Structure 1
């Protein structure tokens, strides 16, 4: 059946109709859509057109789309084409541009869209011969590769959009564990710097989808974007770090969150690669041994007994729940004066729940701490252990300074150790 296409004038307005066969034969200006389909990690679905297509047969494309039919709006056409070609349904369209394209094969007004879709891809056999998800960087590389022949209209019409998205990458942290980039203002990319951090990040990608539904605040749910070198990406959790003047109500929200986390079944970590009680115990023993060998000798002699007692108490701490493991003010976010999310779960493991209360009860403002304690319902033994974990905090700064050759961090950490032990 010869479909009837919607024609457009040079002002991009509907201007009559014509059978599709005539549009092709006379190269009439018509309407067409292009839909860039992206998954939750921002990858683009790239496909190869079948060899029987009437325009650009057998070439690769990174947009689904086609001719706008008579009396069809561009939005309706985009939805129809994405559903027909790739099985994409139920997702919201976002228009990213309108432009005009023309060559010896086709001439049309292009209405371009982006859509995020996590459902199954189902090819239309007459339209699509092959397809896969690609990162923007990989797609950009393929577009420069002469062995990958892409349709010229998507290159011309949507190529600038792709270049603009590639430019929206900002380095936000160059830490000891990971390099962190903010991408398009929507995603956070993390690149591990050491092999053990690689394993922690992979474990996080398996754990967080299980925990998300159990927790009352936003948490990142990362996925593997690239296997080698590893890049883990998650949607940005919006908000700013809590501050010293955070309220009791904000503390209560965090306390309720931590109670939900610590009440989560430990079996949620099974098979994820998250360090279990035995593994986290071995890691803690090695860390405390290092503290005893490299931090304790740098302390004033009169503090050695207190330091020894602290290391002994922490060594015997229970390991009974899934914990965040590195909870500080930079990891607790708020929006509109309400705690909204908890980020950075690379240190999650099965350990002592008191470790997650160390800063919240001992380093945060008094009102915030009171809110945490009331909502969490902190038992006396947990409060004592939380204080021990708080005392241990600056010891990490000392060893980090030793590892990085930062004498200033070593000195700052030692001052913190001394101050907390004396208090």
Structure 2
């Protein structure tokens, strides 16, 4: 095979002759080279280990593809060629600008690029020994570890870019079970607040890709981003969190149709995803009810004790089961320009009583919206009653988990909400 002829560059970043690759390496001549950082649509970076036969930095870790620019070759075309050869990636490139690098092993003018690729990676055996997709945080962990040999030129040319992207996030929002952070204005990351919540997040990442084509509203395209510490990510769904007072009858119609489709999803569609099955969901419910009986019930006024005990008994009775969101509330509905567009936060998904998902839509939403939900869903009288019990039970969870002291305003307010819910009557 003929030896490659490499484009040499002067100190001003302009072409300045050429030389065979072996001569360029032997004399450490200043040349042109490309570097392409490959991310997937979730923001992960493809990181690989170079083969031991590379002529410079053999067996080092790298997080860019690329190589020398050949004599007479346009740098962009050279980047495309190298990317296709090394990783089998053929997506469009975005320029990150030019820069210079020099050390005792190599000197070159760098043409830097970024690309997004969700297809298969096909590493070139002569170039790549092993590779994997890593989050920016895990990549930075590796870069900060002195025991991990990363390419010094890639560190110098792309390290600041990686750190800037990793720092581009908002303040975490504290939900009932997880912390949610907007990342780079494109993704939502969630980490568990409590032990045990992580299992639901992992199951969600397995469930939602299977569920998405089966329901008429958008659900997050969740993936498991990092295992330790556990973090899941999905694309930010454009829109705003639903405000109860602003919901329309059309939103209610869409929500009812969505819930009907969700509850009709066959078992085969979610088997093996890791979501709690009917036995596990019921066991969790009974544990919660027992804790509520011992911790929350004594806090209620005597006028509501009997009513509250009856509620706990009714909810404990086994009901029909299907795939449920498990915690549906306005904060989980995304409103886009055309109205209700998506449903998010599926960490409590499991196989349980479908009436739990009807609780807030039928009893917490404005009456025209609730009627639209009921009509679109085709709710039965039995489901109306079970949904009411779930609606009455919901504030028990807040009181159950909220630290309580005699003078704590938040705890007192939540307890007042619980008592008010016990007084709610069945829908006509």
How is 1:245-260 mapped onto 2 (pairs within 5 angstroms)? 245-260=246-261
How is 1:11-410 mapped onto 2 (pairs within 5 angstroms)? 15=15, 18-21=18-21, 30-69=31-70, 72-89=73-90, 91-103=91-103, 105-175=105-175, 177-243=177-243, 244-316=245-317, 318-402=319-403, 407-410=408-411
Distance across 2 between alignment mates of 1:404 and 1:253: 42
Deviates more, 1:16-25 or 1:246-255: 16-25
Check whether the contact 2:8–2:19 (CA below 8 A) recurs between aligned residues.
no
- Structure 1 unmatched ranges of 5 or more: none
Deviations along 1:64-98, one digit per CA (max 9) or x if unpaired, are 01123456544433332122112224x34333333
Deviations along 1:261-281, one digit per CA (max 9) or x if unpaired, are 111112333222312112212
Deviations along 1:120-166, one digit per CA (max 9) or x if unpaired, are 33221222233333332332233233333332321121111011122
The residue number in structure 1 matching 2:413 is 412
Check whether the contact 2:325–2:350 (CA below 8 A) recurs between aligned residues.
yes
For the residue of structure 2 that corresponds to 1:169, the secondary structure is coil
Give 1:405 shift.
9.6
Give 1:349 shift.
1.0
Over 3 Å counting, the alpha-carbon distance change for 1:144 and 1:413 in structure 2 is closer
Check whether the contact 1:204–1:346 (CA below 8 A) recurs between aligned residues.
yes
Distance across 1 between alignment mates of 2:167 and 2:121: 28
Distance across 1 between alignment mates of 2:20 and 2:249: 66
Over 3 Å counting, the alpha-carbon distance change for 1:126 and 1:292 in structure 2 is closer
Distance across 1 between alignment mates of 2:415 and 2:138: 46
Check whether the contact 1:217–1:341 (CA below 8 A) recurs between aligned residues.
yes
For the residue of structure 2 that corresponds to 1:378, the secondary structure is coil
- Structure 2 unmatched ranges of 5 or more: none
Deviates more, 1:349-358 or 1:92-101: 92-101
Distance across 1 between alignment mates of 2:85 and 2:283: 55
Deviations along 1:1-21, one digit per CA (max 9) or x if unpaired, are 2445556677767x4763543
Distance across 2 between alignment mates of 1:61 and 1:77: 19
Deviations along 1:376-423, one digit per CA (max 9) or x if unpaired, are 232332223222211222222211224799933331122112222234
For the residue of structure 2 that corresponds to 1:225, the secondary structure is strand
For the residue of structure 2 that corresponds to 1:195, the secondary structure is coil
Check whether the contact 1:324–1:345 (CA below 8 A) recurs between aligned residues.
yes
TM-score by length of 1: 0.88
Check whether the contact 1:32–1:108 (CA below 8 A) recurs between aligned residues.
yes
Over 3 Å counting, the alpha-carbon distance change for 1:404 and 1:128 in structure 2 is farther
Over 3 Å counting, the alpha-carbon distance change for 1:338 and 1:8 in structure 2 is farther
Give 1:248 shift.
1.8
Over 3 Å counting, the alpha-carbon distance change for 1:404 and 1:297 in structure 2 is closer
Give 1:356 shift.
0.9
For the residue of structure 1 that corresponds to 2:232, the secondary structure is strand
Distance across 1 between alignment mates of 2:208 and 2:43: 19
Give 1:176 shift.
5.2
Over 3 Å counting, the alpha-carbon distance change for 1:20 and 1:185 in structure 2 is farther
Distance across 2 between alignment mates of 1:7 and 1:405: 77
Distance across 1 between alignment mates of 2:130 and 2:300: 65
Give 1:23 shift.
5.4
Distance across 1 between alignment mates of 2:190 and 2:157: 31
Give 1:38 shift.
2.6
Deviations along 1:349-372, one digit per CA (max 9) or x if unpaired, are 111111112111221233433333
Deviates more, 1:24-33 or 1:150-159: 24-33
Deviates more, 1:284-293 or 1:397-406: 397-406
Q: What is the Cα-based RMSD across aligned positions, in Å?
A: 2.9
> How many matched pairs?
421
